[in-house]
């Protein structure tokens, strides 16, 4: 068991995500990011399977065939694409749905922070993109969500954090305007 090392790792990670979220003007999401990691359901397995160079969910999964900590975490944190699976009214099967832009932005911030924590001084702005492109997430994500996330990761890799965060802020602003207009339209239709 490594409770202090695990606590230090998740706290450092949360702080980096908070800083990134603040750069995107996602203040509430930055402050509340990954609070479930401090719950006993996630903290105890995290301390037990702590490695320091990767998520403790991986060793837990290897030992048990599943990770209870991960299942608890993904069901409470909307910045994980796995949270956004629901039964399709058309196919009657579980499918990934398009994530709201603000949660894709938090996922972007999370991936940068995780890469910085696990890579340490060896971190490069290409690491989050490479991890995404070489990982298993894309086939399990809604294509619209995957494309948006990857577009921001490519900007990060090619043009750096400043440009990437500016792009995310712009997308969030446009999404907020779109949602506001959609809400107005619905009210107008309801009255009419």
Dump strand ranges (E) for 22-108: 85-87, 94-96
pLDDT digits (tens, 9 = 90+) for 24-74: 999 999 999 999 999 999 999 999 999 888 889 999 999 999 999 999 999
- Going from the C-alpha of 135 to that of each of 67, 88, 131, the distances in angstroms are 18, 25, 6
CB neighbour list of residue 61: distance below 8 Å, 6 or more residues apart? 67, 70
Other C-beta atoms lying within 10 Å of the C-beta of residue 117: 18
- pTM of the predicted structure, to 2 decimals: 0.90
Per-residue confidence (pLDDT) for residue 192, from 0 to 100: 65
pLDDT digits (tens, 9 = 90+) for 139-154: 999 999 999 999 999 9
CB 97 within 8 A of CB 84: yes
Distance in angstroms (rounded) separating the CA atoms of residues 12 and 107: 16
């Amino acid at each position: 068991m490594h409770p202090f090392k695990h606590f230090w790792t998740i706290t450092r990670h949360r702080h980096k995500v908070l800083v990134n979220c603040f750069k995107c003007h996602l203040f509430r999401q930055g402050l509340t990011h990954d609070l479930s990691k401090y719950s006993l359901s996630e903290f105890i397995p995290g301390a037990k399977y702590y490695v320091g160079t990767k998520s403790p969910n991986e060793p837990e999964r290897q030992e048990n065939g599943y990770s209870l900590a991960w299942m608890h975490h993904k069901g409470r944190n909307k910045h994980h694409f796995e949270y956004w699976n629901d039964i399709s009214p058309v196919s009657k099967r579980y499918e990934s749905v398009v994530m709201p832009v603000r949660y894709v932005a938090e996922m972007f911030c999370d991936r940068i922070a995780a890469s910085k924590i696990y890579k340490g001084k060896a971190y490069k702005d290409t690491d989050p993109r490479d991890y995404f492109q070489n990982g298993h997430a894309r086939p399990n994500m809604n294509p619209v969500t995957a494309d948006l996330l990857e577009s921001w990761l490519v900007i990060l890799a090619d043009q750096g954090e400043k440009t990437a965060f500016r792009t995310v802020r712009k997308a969030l602003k446009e999404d907020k305007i779109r949602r506001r207009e959609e809400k107005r339209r619905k009210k107008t239709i309801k009255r009419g």
